[in-house]
Amino acid sequence: MTEWWRGAVTYQVYPRSFQDDNGDGVGDLKGITRRLDHIAELGCDAVWLSPFFTSPMKDMGYDVSDYRNVDPVFGTLQDFDALVARAHVLGLKVIIDQVLNHSSDKHPFFAESRKDRTNSKADWYVWHDPNHDGTPPNNWQSVFGGSAWTWDARRKQYYFHNFLTEQPDFNFHNPDVVDWHEENLRFWLDRGVDGFRFDTVNFFYHDAKLRSDPADYRVKDKAPGNPYEMQYHIFSKNQPENLLWMERIRRIMDDYPGTATVGEMGESHHAIRMMGEYTAPGRLHQCYSFEMMGYDYSPSFFRGKIEEFFKGAPDGWPMWAFSNHDVVRHATRWAKHGLSQDALARQAGALILSFQGSICLWQGEELGQTDTELALEELTDPQGINFWPEPVGRDNTRTPMVWDGSANGGFTGGNGAPWLPVKAPQLARNVAAQAGVAGSVLESYREMLAFRRATPALRGAAATRFLDLPDPVLGFVRGTGDEAVVCLFNLSPGSLRLTATGLGDQIGPRQAAALKGGVLELGPNAVAFFRVDGEVGLG
């Protein structure tokens, strides 16, 4: 199936936090390989591995110093090959991160580039002279705080970094850089990977004229925790040349039939529209953004995002996610909307797995896992440390996967402490305690994943027709004819009743929902799926 990715469910693994097999407190590739059965038994189609490449770990692997090797903390290339082989035996595709926008400042190419202005790598990164008053070339800001320009005394120039000072941006206007990154992609494709997730996919090219970004056009009552959000980033990223690079990537992937791409749209302006642009025919296969990773849990919100995408990009393809390694877990973000933590977690799983598009699950969300409360001295994440106490950093969501109720949750058997702590609230939500237990969050995810896979209207590209329903009910029909499915969700901790017509047999997973004599009873965080038996009407 060459389009296996269309409607597929991908499970994101954060290598540092999934399973530690050598007892050093940090997860590794052998540990992931041992735990792949969990992902396969859950019912996922693919596994996405966050970076495992050689790195000084200033940004936990998103600062790469060797694009074609495994960092020793995670293992070896042979361990990676064994992981891919095992995944394929289990029927899982393997997608790996590609962090191409920037490298580590410890990468040998940057060490060469900063020596002088005439070396062979002098133009591989973004350098520029200071203004006459010594200030940086423009007002571009770093996502991690402060100016996006850092002075280098050797070259007597500034270099550009969208993120940490230790993460200098490549100069994609240099065709040699693009050619070299193509070689990096082909290296991993030749090793048998099934696809790539591209980090910060809209960041690759910068404005060649270095024009300053204007102020954000959206009115703010007060300054946000991160002043980066006070600018409208139309020059520091989001350049039209990015789309040409997407088209080149697609041509590379076409040389390896059955492979797929997904891009991370790192953008707070027009993200849904840009997801469509980046997945237009001949570009990326799919794209996700942070649009559904906020605090809104209303029917109009979810309806608006899905309708916006497919109206603007009928030939594009989205990947939807509620959580990942960069945001607060949704069981924590949306807690006030649930009668209980379990009820909310079960509903959120059923909700996203009924959406039109591909789906990405973040490790631990199938357990109803919550963010870990961490003190400042426990943090390792530069974003969390720089902006303490808000916005909340990323370590809180990255704490180790909890496999059982033993010390450290079965994540590590070593004598040392795990790289981030496993605390009691997270320890209580472990795989062993939920496996085989009817009604557990884990078993509800397994049931819903099986239902999605067995139901063509949910798994495929069947269009979504939203029903006009009163808040807090979200309802839509996926598919047509005999395959049509009505999906209904009460996104609140309260109960309500609706008169109903056109609903046939109730099918699939359910929670606090029943149809009795033409009246649909929806309890707290209700989930219901029905066949269609006529014109659907609810009111």
Separation of alpha carbons 43 and 444, rounded Å: 12
Asked if 210 and 281 sit in the same domain, the reply is yes
Band of pLDDT at residue 392, cut at 50, 70 and 90: confident
d(CA 80, CA 94): 11
Q: Which of 433, 452, 471 is the last residue of a domain?
A: 452
Work out the pLDDT band at 397, boundaries 50, 70, 90.
very high
| Residue 263: inside a domain | yes
The stretches of 313-352 forming alpha helices (DSSP H) are: 330-333, 341-352
Q: Indicate whether 528 belongs to any domain.
A: yes
Helix (H, G, I), strand (E, B) or coil at 313: coil
482 with 399, same domain: the answer is: no
Answer yes or no: is 23 within a domain: yes
pLDDT at site 1: 53
Q: Which candidate, 464, 462, 488, places its Cα nearest to that of 475?
A: 488
- What share of the chain has pLDDT > 90, as a percent? 95
* Local confidence band at 2 (pLDDT 50, 70, 90 cut-offs): confident
Is residue 218 located within the same domain as residue 74? yes
Which CATH number fits the domain that encloses residue 438?
A: 3.20.20.80
Whether residue 186 is contained in a domain is answered as yes
What is d(CA 231, CA 219) in angstroms, rounded to the nearest whole number?
A: 11
Q: What's the start-to-end Cα distance of the chain, in Å?
A: 42
Condensed to tens digits (0 to 9), the pLDDT of residues 147-158 reads 999 999 999 999
3-state secondary structure string across 224-237: CCCHHHHECCCCCC
User: Residue 34 CB: number of other CB atoms within 10 A?
Assistant: 15
Length of the chain: 539
pLDDT of amino acid 195: 98
Give the confidence band of 221 by pLDDT, cuts at 50, 70, 90: confident
**53-54 and 66-70: which strand pairing?**
antiparallel
CA distances from 222 to 219, 348, 368, 393, 489 (A): 9, 32, 34, 20, 35
Dist. CA 204–CA 285, nearest whole Å: 18
Domain shared by 26 and 52, yes or no:
yes
Residue 364 pLDDT > 60, yes or no?
Answer: yes
**Residue 123 is assigned to a structural domain of this protein:** no
Same domain, 475 and 407: no
Residue with tokens 């440390």: 385
Q: How many domains does the chain have?
A: 2
- Check pLDDT > 90 for residue 225: no
Of 408, 425, 452, the residue that ends a domain is 452
Looking at the fold, whether 469 and 443 belong to one and the same domain comes out as: no
Q: Mean pLDDT throughout 457-476?
A: 96
Do 282 and 186 belong to one domain? yes
- My answer on whether 447 and 471 are in the same domain is no
pTM across the whole model:
0.97
For the record, the structure tokens of 233 come out as 């980033």
How far from 227 is each of 87, 140, 511, CA to CA, in Å?
42, 11, 42
Residues designated as active site? 199, 264
- What DSSP letter does each residue of 52-82 carry, written as one string? -EE---TTTTSS-SEEEEE-TTT--HHHHHH
Name the 3-class secondary structure at 397: helix
Assess if residue 51 is contained within a domain: yes
pLDDT tens digit sequence for 185-195: 999 999 999 99
Average pLDDT score over residue span 435-439: 98
Residues 91-120 have a mean pLDDT of 98
CATH code of the domain covering residue 486: 2.60.40.1180
Residues 441 and 308 in one domain: yes
Residue 109 lies in a domain: no
* 450 class by beta-carbon count within 10 Å (0-12 exposed, 13-18 middle, 19+ buried): middle
My answer on whether 189 and 270 are in the same domain is yes
Would residue 146 count as lying in a domain?
no
Round to whole Å and give the CA distance between 264 and 365. 20
DSSP letter at 377 equals G
Q: Please, are residues 392 and 365 in contact by the beta-carbon 8 Å criterion?
A: no
Strand-pair category, 485-490 with 66-70 = unpaired
Percentage above 70 pLDDT, the chain: 100
> Can you give the pLDDT at residue 146?
95
Give the per-residue pLDDT at 368: 98
How many CB atoms lie under 10 A from the CB of residue 42?
A: 17
Domain limits for position 509: 463-538
pLDDT at 259 over 70: yes
Q: Answer with the one of 398, 429, 452 that is the final residue of a domain.
A: 452
Q: Inform me whether the pLDDT recorded for 38 exceeds 60.
A: yes
Q: Which residues are within 8 A (CB) of 194 and not within 5 positions of it... i.e. 6 or more apart?
A: 46, 93, 94, 95, 258, 259, 260
Residue of 491, 527, 487 whose CA lies nearest to 509: 527
Sorting pLDDT into bands at 50, 70 and 90, what band is 7?
very high
Q: Are residues 215 and 345 in the same domain?
A: yes
Whether residue 429 sits in one domain with residue 348 = yes
pLDDT at residue 219 tops 80: no
Report in angstroms the alpha-carbon separations of 393 from 168, 202, 390.
Answer: 22, 22, 7
Amino acid at 398: R
Residue whose token pair is 């047999």: 505
**Can you tell me the mean pLDDT for 95-109?**
98
- What pLDDT is recorded for position 390? 81
Mean residue pLDDT across the chain: 96
